[in-house]
Amino acid sequence: MTTQLSGIRLAKRLDEVGFSDIVLVRNKVMGMRAEGLQVHPMHGGEPFFETPELIKYAAIKAIVENQTHYAPSSGMLPLRKALVEKLATKNNIHVTTDQVIATMGGTHGLYAAFQTVLDPGDEALIFSPYWTPIGDLVAGAQARRVLVDTLGARQNGVRKTLKQCLTPRTRAIYFNTPQNPSGLVFTKAEAEEVAAFAIEHDLIVIADEAYEDLIYDGSPFSIASLPGMAERTITSYTFSKTYAMTGWRAGYTVAPEPFMTGMRKIILYSTNGVTTPVQYAMLEALRTPAAEIAAHREQYRARRDLLVSALNEVGLTCEPPAGAFYAFPNVEKIDKNSRVAAQILLEKAHIATIPGSVFGIHGEGHLRFGYAVTLKEIENCIGALRTFFA
Ligand SMILES: Cc1ncc(COP(=O)(O)O)c(C=O)c1O
């Protein structure tokens, strides 16, 4: 895109920043629904349940009790204390309260992280297929995304594959596990390879653990907990998925110095911190019993198993995802071009999905089906799939 010569123009650094294709699908679905059509909503990534009552009431109580003033822009101390405890017990990341910062959701934490570490012209290695906004966050820092084929890395060796993408400009690795859109969960051995590579080449790791509570077998594992990694890792978390708090815009990031100073500056001058009543809701969310989180995971597992077996049954080959709430079947049987496949499925079967190519070239030939919907919605989608392939 060329920039106009006139003074009335956007800053050039926004030239390479796109709008999410996912939003385009969402708009199309809304248009179809407005026409009275029933659409099977497999395009989204929002939990199927509502924000738990106790969390909602914590925010309401905070408002009623006039907790409506400025809070520290990094987050109030009781919240940061609770986060420090959570990080130690659940993630084996041991930090102090000034190494954790509240953010307006995971996206904001990731935005701040990329702004903190990338200079114009730097390169960031991104395992692909990848969550699309990451490419835009990197572009917004005037840096370059370099895609690393995740499955290729799995087959040929993580370190070897990363090495093929390394240049003197490489500065950071984006490490998302469980992954959106594939549901892939990196093994501890793979994380160790990424860590060894980062240490060998003096790179920063930006870890994204948005789906840490959605690992179907085994426990979450944080790359920052590996020896030598805490000092070079910025890890982003969100309340969106675990606690069904997508609309609250609540998250946090953990990082040592010098990164935390950068994070504080970016957060101070972008949002000046998370809304005070939301911080009370975050504090309450952290008190959620582990059994409640596990029960939700089992509900997601049931959805996954139902959908994945139906996808395979109609010939859309799909490995059961090890984490998150997305299935990523091969859909070349419908069309080799995933945008065309998504369009066919939407128009002929009224099933809304996201084309795999939106998530980078390595996603081509696939569609993302989000299964964080109700069981009834999954059953209806399966019915439509069977009719379409009949
Ligand atoms: C991989 C990944 N990271 C981060 C996020 C950020 O979510 P939020 O900004 O709602 O916290 C998402 C949301 O879909 C995601 O899929």
pLDDT in tens, 242-261: 999 999 999 999 999 999 99
Query: Residue 101 corresponds to which tokens in the numbers above?
Result: 């910062």
CB of 45 shorter than 6 A to ligand 1: yes
In degrees and rounded to multiples of 5, residue 259 shows phi and psi of -60, -40
Amino acid 223: pLDDT: 98
- Quote the pLDDT of residue 22: 82
244 with 214, same domain: the answer is: yes
Same domain, 132 and 260: yes
**What's the CATH number where 346 sits?**
3.90.1150.10
The label of the residue with tokens 């993580």 reads 158
| Same-domain status, 175 and 109 | yes
Structural domains in the chain (count): 2
User: Where does a domain end: 285, 307, 336?
Assistant: 285
Q: What are phi and psi of 123, to 5 degrees?
A: -120, 140
Ligand 1 nearest atom to the CA of residue 108, by list position: 9
Beta strands in the chain (DSSP E): 40-41, 100-103, 123-128, 144-149, 170-176, 204-208, 233-238, 251-254, 326-327, 351-352, 354-355, 367-370
How high is the pLDDT of residue 3? 52
Query: Residue 84: is its pLDDT beyond 60?
Result: yes
Please compute the mean of the pLDDT values over residues 168-185 and round it to a whole number: 98
Domain of residue 294, residue span:
12-50+290-389
Tens digit of pLDDT for each residue in 349-388? 999 999 999 999 999 999 999 999 999 999 999 999 999 9
CA–CA dist 361, 127 (Å, integer): 11
Which amino acid is it at 262? G
Ligand 1 centroid vs 179 CA: distance in angstroms?
A: 10
Write out pLDDT tens, residues 29-68.
999 999 999 999 999 999 999 999 999 999 999 999 999 9
Query: Is residue 94 domain-shared with residue 176, that is, in the same domain?
Result: yes
| Helix axes 188-200 and 158-165, enclosed angle (nearest 10) | 40
Residue 109 near ligand 1, beta carbon < 6 Å: no
Say whether both 304 and 212 belong to one domain.
Answer: no
Any domain includes 116: yes
Contact in structure between 184 and 177 (CB atoms under 8 Å): yes
Considering 285, 303, 330, which residue would you say is the last residue of a domain?
A: 285
Query: Do both 92 and 194 map to the same domain?
Result: yes
Do both 262 and 365 map to the same domain? no
Same domain as 161, residue 302:
no
64 C-alpha to center of ligand 1: Å?
30
**Which protein residue has the closest C-alpha to ligand 1 atom 3?**
210
Closest residue by Cα to atom 16, ligand 1, is 180
Same domain, 253 and 314: no
CATH number of the domain bearing residue 201: 3.40.640.10
In a domain, residue 63? The reply is no
Could you tell me the pTM of the whole model? Answer: 0.96
